[in-house]
Amino acid sequence: MQTVTSHDAPQGVRQVDIGPERDGQRIDNALVTLLKGVPKSMIYRLLRTGQVRVNGKRAKPDTRLSAGDTLRIPPVRTAEKAPDRGPSAEMVAAVAEAVIFEDKHFLAIDKPSGIASHGGSGVSHGAIELLRAARPDQHLELVHRLDRDTSGVLVFAKTRAGLTGLQAAIRAGEVTKQYLCLMVGHPPKARFDVNAPLLKSVLQGGERMVRVSGNGKPSLTFFREMEQLTGARLMQATLGTGRTHQIRVHAAHIGHPLAGDTKYGDREANKRFREKGLQRLFLHAAHMGFELEGRAYGFSAPLPDDLKNFLDVLGDKGKSNRWLRPAAPRPGPRKQNR
């Protein structure tokens, strides 16, 4: 990327020419890296007030950049930061040892819960920063994201062709994403779809919240029961679209939020489950599949031990664990946007 400051612009305004390495990247994520040391809350305020522009037009947080765009960044005062000591060796090792697949285009890991996909919002080092620390001589880019508390398959690109190819497949709805989640209570059907539009908002401080709204974007999730348990159901959720917090909000919308969800969940149910040993959100990215350049890719990650052990507490240890094997995706329209 080449950065050029216009001499005709007010002092401190930057005019940034977007290169191919940021083609398709969301503008809020780009600004996090371009404005190091600036709180996310300030970045979103700059976007809301129209101070950030792409090709002369106001940009929204979900605006995607294209190679050749001109990005206007206003003057921003940054607080002086203490020197970055870098991630701990333990954190680097935890991510480096989580690799489940690698070829010339991609690297996939089974991301542990508690590690963010990338740094920001009070997180110094996410999975991408940890992998870059473990492999300083390799070029790695984050293709998609998982919430910090969500475990499972997370894919990185090692080449430009891999990055743009997979991101294009995600936008076209040509990627299968399946999750395992624990719903509070007993949904009335073993198979059902939730087709409810989702609207995303950013609260003061940069926290993202999503709700069902007629003004939101079309959102579709296919749910399938995998196991019946005391006070809960283990479900497979296949994404028809890829909205932020989609599975969590759709589950809460039908009255059966995910166990351990502190943002959209049931506080009393979470307390009961916590007393039984569940210490985090029960949501795991179990499988991701797609085709690129004539090759079929499929990445799978087994349910982590802490979640398997909690299922043993709720259920009968003698039952066959069908949920250890990712099932085939539910047929239906798919159109993922991330």
Report the catalytic residues: 147
Structure tokens at 10: 């007010």
Under a CB-based contact definition with an 8 Å cutoff, are residues 303 and 235 in contact?
no
**Cα–Cα dist 236/248, whole Å:** 13
Task: Please compute, for residue 5, the number of CA atoms within 13 A of its CA located in the half-sphere on the CB side.
Answer: 8
Among left, alpha and beta (phi > 0; psi -120 to 50; other), residue 230 is beta
Report the relative pairing of strands 208-212 and 220-229 from DSSP bridges.
Answer: unpaired
Cβ(75)–Cβ(9) below 8 Å: no
Contact between 127 and 151 (Cβ < 8 Å): no
Cβ neighbours for 47, distance < 8 A, ≥ 6 positions apart: 27, 28, 31, 59, 60, 61
- Judge contact between 63 and 26, C-beta under 8 A: yes
Q: How many CB atoms lie within 10 A of CB 95?
A: 25
Q: Is the dihedral of CA 44, 45, 51, 56 positive or negative?
A: positive
CA–CA gap between residue 281 and residue 270 (Å, rounded): 9
Task: Count Cβ atoms below 10 Å from residue 82 Cβ, excluding itself.
Answer: 5
Cβ atoms of residues 107 and 156 within 8 Å: yes
Distance between first and last Cα of the chain: 23
The answer to whether 158 and 146 have CB atoms below 8 angstroms apart is no
